[in-house]
Amino acid sequence: MAQAEPLISNISDTAHLAAVYRARETERQDALFHDPFARRLAGKRGDQIADSIPFSNRNAWAWVTRTYLYDQLIAEQCQQGVNMVINLAAGLDTRPYRMALPPALQWIEADLPGILSYKEEILASEKPACVLQRVRLDLSDATARRELFAQLGRRAAKSLILTEGLIIYFSADQVRALAEDLAAPPAFQHWIVDLASPGLLRLLQTPRGPECDRDGGRRSIRCPHENLNHRLRFRWFHE
């Protein structure tokens, strides 16, 4: 009997999992954001990966919250004059298609060839809201990424860097090297990055969310980002 292929065989497969969470959020009546492409991109493989992970629904709030906050911060930066967004390890992200972005904005997606080719095939008939370019690149290749950063640094006056779910796969030395490379081009002025603290990791492993009021299965927390000045709502997902 042939051995079944593992559901997660490389880092790119986690992009299908992220797409599942965006799709499931989009399908809620009280969705915090809408990604009309997520379900197609996630495919059956995405649901299989999610269903194979114990308590995956229970931890969905973290993925949903991250997506929502990134959306808000990107919109904020665009309003403040950013003219290039560089999404490192872009995976199956669809913000160039689903967000209201300036038409002249340059949006760069960098990731491994396989995942970008898959996304291009699924979204072939869709039109992005801005100027979209995809760069096939292994971001662990320091020489190649420095060359890319130097090229992009000459093309824009004010760039925003995104790393969403990337640095958790890097060692401390690799994160330090990436930060140094991003600091080199003067045009690279802002970097949105997500950090999984020890406290968050413990939270994801417990059956309770942050201490806050519960109302009909919904929870509210005070967003720690002062500039947003709003209450971020998220639900508690049960098995």
pLDDT digits (tens, 9 = 90+) for 100-144: 999 999 999 999 999 999 999 999 999 999 999 999 999 999 999
Residue 211's pLDDT is: 35
Give residue 229's pLDDT: 34
Q: Quick one: pLDDT band at residue 232, thresholds 50, 70, 90?
A: very low
Over residues 18-43, the mean pLDDT reads: 93
Tell me the domains of the chain and their CATH numbers: 64-193 (3.40.50.150)
Stronger pLDDT, 82 or 10, i.e. the higher one: 82
Between 220 and 105, residue with greater pLDDT: 105
In whole angstroms, what is the distance from residue 38 CA to residue 230 CA?
26
Q: Which two tokens stand for residue 52?
A: 């194979």
Half-sphere exposure of 192 (CA within 13 A, CB side): 24
Q: Residue 66: pLDDT above 80?
A: yes
As a whole number, mean pLDDT of residues 63-71 equals 93
- In the structure, what pLDDT confidence band is assigned to residue 174 with cuts at 50, 70 and 90? very high
Q: How confident is residue 223, by pLDDT bands cut at 50, 70 and 90?
A: very low
For position 204, what pLDDT does the model report? 54
pTM given for the model: 0.81
Mean pLDDT of the chain: 82
pLDDT at residue 170 in the model: 86
Average pLDDT estimate for 141-162: 97
As a dihedral over the C-alpha atoms of residue 222, residue 76, residue 158, residue 64, rounded to 10 degrees, the angle is: 60
In terms of pLDDT, which residue wins out, 139 or 238?
139
